[in-house]
Amino acid sequence: MPLTGEYAPSTSDWAREQAEKYEATGGAEANDIMGKPIIVLTSVGAKSGLLRKTPLMRVEHDGEYVVVGSLGGAPKNPVWVYNLRNNPHVELQDGEVKQDYTARELSGEEREVWWERAVAAFPQYEEYTKKTDRLIPLFLLTRA
């Protein structure tokens, strides 16, 4: 069941522009960063209830995805992390395909396995762990 509601653009201009161009072109444009592919996650605002669209690196394995709350190694989590913790029903657009997923935050051994996959997809993530002692949240997205 697709998410419905009012879209609220990100206050990060570059992220907003990339999400909107990616969505409008079915992933044909604005589809990478530093040469690595992205996806666009739609989540429900934990406080506003508005729809938030967030470009994130594409980390996929056997039809499942992981989204990484890295925020470049900043000391605080990105806000979308709290949206997923509050409402795990999300949409993920990968190229032309947009589908519903259920997000589950990972820990322990399962998190380690997916962390390796995330670093393989975007090696910069390893660098971010050196900038913060925050445990970077990972959410596994499985088909709803």
Ligand X SMILES: C[C@H](OP(=O)(O)OC[C@@H](O)[C@@H](O)[C@@H](O)Cn1c2nc(=O)[nH]c(=O)c-2cc2ccc(O)cc21)C(=O)N[C@@H](CCC(=O)N[C@@H](CCC(=O)O)C(=O)O)C(=O)O
Q: Which is nearer to ligand X, 56 or 141 (CB)?
A: 56
Q: Contact between 139 and ligand X (CB under 6 A)?
A: no
What does the alpha-carbon distance between residue 52 and residue 43 come to, in Å, rounded to a whole number? 5
Q: What DSSP designation does 7 have?
A: B
User: According to CB under 6 A, which residues from 38 to 57 bind ligand X?
Assistant: 38, 45-48, 50, 52, 54-57
Question: Measured at CB, which residue is nearest to ligand X?
Answer: 45
What is the DSSP track for 83-108? HHHH--EEEEEETTEEEEEEEEE--H
* CB 115 to ligand X: min, Å: 13
Burial classification of residue 35, based on how many CB atoms lie within 10 Å of its CB (0-12 exposed, 13-18 middle, 19 or more buried): exposed
State the nearest-atom distance from the C-beta of 40 to ligand X, in Å.
9
Residues that bind ligand X (CB under 6 A): 10-12, 14-15, 18, 33, 38, 45-48, 50, 52, 54-57, 68-71, 78-80, 82-83
